[in-house]
Structure 1
Amino acid sequence: MQENSPAVPDQGELAALIRRYDWASTSLGPVSSWPIQLRCAVDIALPSRAQIVMFCGPDFIAIYNDAYAPTIGTKHPAALGKPAKENWAELWDDLEPLLRKVLETGETVFAKDRPFYIERHNKPETVYFDISYSPIFDENGRVLAVFCIVSETTGRVGYEATLKRLASIISSSEDAILGIDLALNVTDWNAGAAKLYGYSFDEIIGQPVSILIPDDRVDEEGRIIARIKAGERIETHETIRRHKSGKLLDVSLTVSPIYDAKGRIVGASKIARDITARKEAERIQEVLIGELNHRVKNILATVAAIARQTFASAQDVEAARAAFDARLQSLAKAHDLLTHGNWEAASLRAVVSEALSAYPTERLNISGPDVSISPKAVVAIALIVHELATNAAKYGALSAEAGKVSISWKLEASPDPYLTLLWSESGGPPVALPSRRGFGSRLIEAMSSGQLKGHADLAYDDSGVRCLISAPLDVGWGDSNFEAAASA
């Protein structure tokens, strides 16, 4: 370059600043005294679009071009013509060894994404550069300056670091996270997706995402991708997806656009959570609530019928009240047994034993195989045994010191499972056929025919009351119109 005008016309701000600068006051001296190699290097650097700075002479005097100026922020233009140490003091311990290596050995120093600590906008920051520091030799092979071509990569490094963090988060997430392109092919697949859907990474990448979608929902994906192309985010919603095995899964799904570096939508990311267990729990809860409503209505109907039949012809209100309370207690104990069995079944032995728990065990003989009975049967048998025991305590075997009660049952297997339960009293006072049918006998018959779908044979033998209950052993023991049956 010439001292008073650049070799290339209109080279920008730095060309003008260099032209006006008092180089004679620096260790480089006036431009006219610069070696031709240094002037040629300046002429090459000034018009370049690459970010170039030269550190010249033993003091590393800074000369740079317009492309480089924004890189040093508020250090420009004060840094021009000054020793590097003055304006790069905060990173001088890092920068000086690089420059001296080039100056003293003539070797080129190259690095990618090289970190530097700098204060270029009046605040500290770590920045990253691809650097190429190479020597400018004079005719004697002595290094005149270090020619530095740099390219800041801080943005890319930060972006890639963010991507790595996100990739790590996605990889370790328990949620199923996958990516698809606009052609609806799978491009990304994390461990959570493999766990949820059953496909490994190698099996699914490049495959159409439709393999995860039930046949009756194939149009759903088209609607989703149309909204994604419009830049929408599909908020969390519940849908159905298909496992590798063909099993259908209830999932909670969120879909968002994927953008490339230029801001263009290139695909969609999906986050899915398995809600199969929750949906199943909701379905079970709905069934249980329905069943609870049904059972509560049945219980209330039973209680109402017991109340009406107990008090309808009562001569002694206090006695009727005591009988009613006792019947409710028997009903409550039956429900306690069902609660322990999750309202699915209860042991027949436990039902009989609980119904007779108020009486001395030495006067009871309970025998029969271990068998589980349904909730309706539990209530029916508990009330039947309670009525028989109450009658025995008032008039039968349990009213006499020597009286005893035997309760036994057995299962018949042919042609269908059948249960027979026998109540037999002995050692009590003589009994006779009552002159009228009381509530107890009506209840026993109603429960046997209605709840148990069987029948009851009630006999008043000289030796004591004898009651034989026969009913099919069926978990579907049904409801009965208790009040109508008991009123008959």
Structure 2
Amino acid sequence: MRETLVEDEAAQGGLAVRESAAHLAALVEGSDDAIISKTLDGTITSWNPAAERMFGYRADEIVGRSILTLIPEERRSEETAIIERVRAGERVPPFETVRRRKDGSLVDLSITVSPVRRADGTIIGASKIARDISERKAVEAQLARQAERLTHLNRAALLVSQDLDLERIVQAVTDIATELSGARFGAFFYNVLGDEGESYLLFSLSGAPREAFERFGMPRNTAVFDPTFRGAGTIRSDDIRKDPRYGLSAPHHGMPEGHLPVVSYLAVPVISRSGAVLGGLFFGHDEPAMFNAEVEELVEAVAAQAAVAMDNAHLHEAARVEIAARVKAEEELQLTLAEMRHRVKNTLAMVQAIAAQTFRETSATERQSFEARVRALSDAHDLLTERHWGTVSAGEMIERALHASDKMKPGRISLAGPDAEVPASRALLAAMALHELGTNAVKYGALSGDAGTVAVEWDMVKESGRDRLRLRWSEQGGPPVSPPARTGFGTRMLERALRGQGGSAAIEFRPEGVCCTLELPA
């Protein structure tokens, strides 16, 4: 009875072992991971269907061969290290590596290795589980490329945005784009507008000496180049020699003898914000199919940055030219005004000399009065010349016109009014009028004694929708005033001159002092 029970238990144990082995075999057969067994000398002993799908070998093709069949030569040292650890009874945790398929292509894998033992614990081989991580690696590589692309584009943006020199910008753009594209050489042909308005073509090079292009002249609008120089779009060719537009134009009908060899070809127009074509980036390689869609996008991004930088450089250059022109015009204006000032002074000096000769029989007082009027006119001309005969400050004009009177009677003349601007021709009349009023006040009016004062007030008023300068002269504290028996030269001059300019002068001879109101169009 006891023996029967022992036999039953043994039978059940064997069944459990067989069931476990069958379950394990099913797992191995159905796994998506390659599961491979090998001996310690590297001979493959088992090969599941996933291994066949992953590596391309059928089990009958690979079992019995060395595991080194799957390992690229430069990575075979990995196998040596793995076997050492397996012999020591260690499990090799997952590590990423590359293995070779039957067709010679490489596959990215994550591999885990465990020792295989006999029942007595002796290590007789190893079991490898290999998982295909190609998709993850491709995503990681794509992310790395995008990060590198952004780094290059940021570097390009930084370089071109920090410079306003056109020549340095185009050279930096050519160097960066050539590096990004992987081209053997790159060139940037760009349009420049000269100081005289003429347009001409310049170029920068990267990866080739200038003499490689200079002896061939500038590119013409041939069938190949024309779309780029018109801004029609990017041209990318795996072999430009097979392009139907190639070789149509005389005299070379293709690349001239001695030209750098171009097979792969990429050309991207550089277009301004205004839509004008600033130039074109051209890249060449002596091997076919070297430029792909990703490279094309990169170079187009650099071209867009180049267009912005070139627009800024052109604006900067235009501003520099305009500023230089303005400085030159200002210098010429100053020379003209200085010459005019000199001639006016000479003319007035001649007038004074003629008057002195003509009026030599008259009294000294009359001669001095005339000369003072000429000096006042000269001073007024000086002020207007300094202001380029545009407009002058009413306050500054009044202060200058009364400078001589105030110097003779300091502190006796008060001024009050806004800082209004007056046209040059009106300011000249007002200055002469004030000179006459000041001279009369010193001779006969409030400034002839020790206590009299003069108040000058002005303002801008609206009349019939137009601005007018209204100026009021008031004397007080001088000798009693009575109307003159006759109208003097100064009064007649004021009234006639002001009327001729659309202005007016109203003089009141009050007992307490002369009052005069002047009005002029502003």
Q: TM-score range by the shorter chain?
A: 0.3 to 0.5
Rg larger for? 2
TM-score by length of 2: 0.38
